[in-house]
Amino acid sequence: MILIIIAVAVIAVYVYSKYDRTYNYWKRKGVPQLQPVFFYGDAKDFLDGKICEAENTMNYYKKFKARGLRFGGVYNEKRPEWVPVDPELIKTITTKDYEYFDLHFRNIRKTLFFNNLFHMRGDEWRNMRRKLTPVFTTGKMKMMFDTLADKADGLSVLMHDLKKRQKPVELKGISMRYTTDIIGSCGFGIECNSLKDETSEFYVQGQKLFNQTSVKPTLLQKIARFINVLPSTAQLAVGNLENFFREVVRDTLKYREDNKVVRKDFMHLMIQLKNKGTITEISNADDDVYDKTVNEDGIGFEELAGQVLLFFTAGFETSSTTMSFALLQLTQHPDIQEKMREEARRIFKKFGGKFTYEGVQEMNYIECVVKETLRMYPPLAILPRVCTRNYRIPNTDVIIEKDTSLRISVWGLHTDPEYFPEPLKFNPDRFSPENKHKINPHAYIPFGDGPRQCLGMRFALLESKLGLAVLLKDFNFSLHKTTAYPPKYVVNNYIPTVEGGVLLNVTKVD
Ligand code: HEM
Ligand SMILES: *[C@@H]1O[C@H](CO)[C@@H](O)[C@H](O)[C@H]1NC(C)=O
Ligand SMILES: *[C@@H]1O[C@H](CO)[C@@H](O)[C@H](O)[C@H]1NC(C)=O
Ligand SMILES: *[C@@H]1O[C@H](CO)[C@@H](O)[C@H](O)[C@H]1NC(C)=O
């Protein structure tokens, strides 16, 4: 009996001291920390389902900032994570000292969805980045514009149709169908027609990707994760979807090889990369790409499929989120909405009654609205980095240990009154030619910063501006009573997402 009591006491003391050590990691290093609690660390509000992860991370930023700190340390459950706060320090991490932080997430198994540029590091990343950069030049954007314009027409047709039904319209879903059709066509070379048909398989599978990653972990899974026996739940959940998308890419590739198809899209550029090892302009004579034996410098099928899928996952949710948050804000600001409408109509007329690539470049006000939306609602509200070599924080003696994850709160920076006066006010004029020089470029990072910056930035701006111009040219949007404003966020989405969708009243404007 006494032996059992002693054994229990020893175990209790051992567990206590271990977790006491765990939650004093930062303190021991001389890095300020918050008040972690056992099991949850500093993520209790998030893990209890009260707020989303991005809000929880924004709270770290605010708490450290309120104490006048340049950085702090937190615990994600029991894992220590470093939270840089000062934009100058963040700039150093993402640019000058990039070599120490050349990875986005830890412990990613390289299955199809994760075998891509976003998850690479070192030379593997550098080579792939060099190969993919030509995919996103101005010339290539222009080349793909016809496809974008075609999908924008589809968006307009759908809205006219929905308007007739006299019912409120859910604009997040509509925006997703638009961005899915664009990336389906430009990326995979398939017409998935989700604007015409919301049961389109491609669209349904794409939605699952984000629905599944947002499935709330069960208690058992939480505990399993806590003691490190499960890889991230996100990665488990998408496993089944990988086969669907791999087959889509395989079919497209086979069809193109059999028929020597030359199409002006991402897929063709990736075929060039696979068979020739480099990307060039696409000409009609380009069907010789299929005669090439696989080049030494070329990429393999899995690599090709991996990058194409990255364009999809990186693009469709982020851009549609941006469009729907812009519309949500516009219901609160009819004057801004009217100004956008005037610009859209003026440019539409100027370019012969259609939206052209050049026309979209002239949409300066609409661009300010998109940029302000990305300030208030950055889709990647937490910029992830992993420290890949021991790093001494500049001007301190603190060493950040290899393998430590970082949480840069983009949302925190973007809503910090020091950098954006009246941060909760939606004010596109912050980005006007007269005002934009006042913005600290390192406090505004919706597309990240440094060598790792978003490759699809211009593509994203192009499709978001075009989509909004098409919607606003003919329609007026106001808040439907069931949509909460300010919005509440879906708790388990990494990308801030409005709970219940963005349901709006739509009227036609003559
Ligand atoms: C509004 C829409 C978008 C936002 C807010 C966004 C934001 C971001 C951010 C924050 C990163 C990480 C940057 C860093 O670590 O410093 C990123 C990476 C990336 N994005 Fe985007 N993105 C958007 C749309 C797109 C689109 C449409 C594409 C492609 C068609 C795309 C392709 C990529 C790629 C390939 C990377 C990985 C870059 C690398 O690791 O080297 N993004 N994006
Ligand atoms: C994804 O989630 C939304 C909202 O929870 C739901 O309406 C939709 O049907 C889901 N889609 C799929 C394909 O599961
Ligand atoms: C748009 O709707 C709002 C609110 O219903 C209304 O005040 C405004 O006049 C409308 N604008 C146009 C151009 O129809
Ligand atoms: C939105 O539409 C509903 C039903 O059509 C209508 O009752 C309501 O007044 C509209 N709200 C606004 C703000 O226009």
Question: Tens digits of per-residue pLDDT, 223-252?
Answer: 655 555 445 555 556 667 888 888 889 999
Beta partners for residue 406, in sequence order: 82, 385
> Cβ(58)–Cβ(411) under 8 Å?
yes
Give distance in angstroms: CA of 505 to centre of ligand 4: 6
Give distance in angstroms: CA of 447 to centre of ligand 1: 6
Taking CA atoms only, the protein residue closest to ligand 1 atom 31 is 456
Q: How far apart are CA 333 and CA 336, in angstroms?
A: 5
Test site for ligand 2: of 207, 210, 214, most ligand atoms within 8 A of the Cβ: 207
The answer, yes or no, to whether any atom of ligand 2 lies below 6 A from the CB of 212, is: no
Q: Is residue 489 part of a domain?
A: yes
Which pTM value belongs to this model? 0.93
Tokens linked to 336: 């801004």
**pLDDT value for 36:** 94
Give distance in angstroms: CA of 114 to centre of ligand 1: 14
Locate the ligand 2 atom nearest the alpha carbon of residue 211 and give its number. 1
Q: Is residue 43 part of a domain?
A: no
- Of all ligands present, the nearest one to the C-alpha of 460 is 1
Beta partners for residue 73, in sequence order: 33, 82
**pLDDT value for 175:** 96
Q: How far apart are CA 457 and CA 447, in angstroms?
A: 7
Q: How far apart are CA 463 and CA 34, in angstroms?
A: 41
**pLDDT value for 315:** 86
Encode pLDDT of 321-374 as tens digits.
999 999 999 999 999 999 999 999 999 999 999 999 999 999 999 999 999 999
Q: Is residue 110 part of a domain?
A: no
Q: How far apart are CA 464 and CA 427, in angstroms?
A: 18
Encode pLDDT of 128-156 as tens digits.
999 899 999 999 999 999 999 999 999 99
The answer, yes or no, to whether any atom of ligand 2 lies below 6 A from the CB of 207, is: yes
- Of all ligands present, the nearest one to the C-alpha of 481 is 4
Q: Mapping DSSP to helix (H, G, I), strand (E, B) and coil, where does residue 32 land?
A: coil
Q: Which residue segment(s) compose the domain that 475 sits in?
A: 126-380+446-508
Residue 174 Cα to chain centre, angstroms? 18
Query: Taking the chain, what is the end-to-end CA distance rounded to the nearest angstrom?
Result: 87
**pLDDT value for 38:** 87
**pLDDT value for 230:** 47
Q: Dump the DSSP string for 476-503.
A: EEEE-TTS-SSPPB-TT-SS--BTT--E
Find the residues whose C-beta lies inside 6 A of ligand 3: 334, 476, 478, 509
Give distance in angstroms: CA of 339 to centre of ligand 3: 12
The answer, yes or no, to whether any atom of ligand 1 lies below 6 A from the CB of 447, is: yes
Scanning the structure block, which residue is given the tokens 């597309």? 447
The answer, yes or no, to whether any atom of ligand 1 lies below 6 A from the CB of 453, is: yes
**pLDDT value for 234:** 56
Work out whether strand 71-76 and strand 382-386 pair parallel, antiparallel, or are unpaired.
unpaired
Cβ neighbours, 10 Å, residue 388: 17
Report angle CA 470, 183, 181 to the nearest 5 degrees: 55
> Cβ(502)–Cβ(172) under 8 Å?
yes
Residues of the chain with pLDDT under 70: 211-239, 292-296
Q: Shortest CA distance to 465 belongs to which of 344, 331, 302, 289?
A: 344
Cβ neighbours, 10 Å, residue 36: 24
The answer, yes or no, to whether any atom of ligand 1 lies below 6 A from the CB of 314, is: yes
Q: Shortest CA distance to 448 belongs to which of 91, 190, 199, 71?
A: 91
- Of all ligands present, the nearest one to the C-alpha of 322 is 1
Alpha-carbon distance values, 181 to 38, 145, 199, 230, 287 (Å): 46, 13, 13, 35, 25
Q: Mapping DSSP to helix (H, G, I), strand (E, B) and coil, where does residue 103 land?
A: strand
Test site for ligand 1: of 447, 464, 465, most ligand atoms within 8 A of the Cβ: 447
Locate the ligand 4 atom nearest the alpha carbon of residue 479 and give its number. 13
Tokens linked to 335: 């004057």
Taking CA atoms only, the protein residue closest to ligand 1 atom 11 is 454
Question: Which distant-in-sequence residues (6+ apart) come within 8 Å of 492 by Cβ?
Answer: 49, 52, 214, 215, 216
- The burial of 208, by beta-carbon neighbours within 10 Å (0-12 exposed, 13-18 middle, 19 or more buried), is given as middle
Q: Is residue 213 part of a domain?
A: yes
> Cβ(23)–Cβ(36) under 8 Å?
yes
Domain of 458: which CATH number? 1.10.630.10
Taking CA atoms only, the protein residue closest to ligand 1 atom 35 is 455
Round the CA-based radius of gyration of the chain to a whole number and report it: 24
The answer, yes or no, to whether any atom of ligand 4 lies below 6 A from the CB of 505, is: yes
- Of all ligands present, the nearest one to the C-alpha of 473 is 3
> Cβ(109)–Cβ(95) under 8 Å?
no
Taking CA atoms only, the protein residue closest to ligand 1 atom 1 is 319
Q: Considering its fold, how many domains does the chain have in total?
A: 1
Answer left, alpha or beta for residue 343, where phi above 0 means left and psi between -120 and 50 means alpha: alpha
Q: Is residue 187 part of a domain?
A: yes
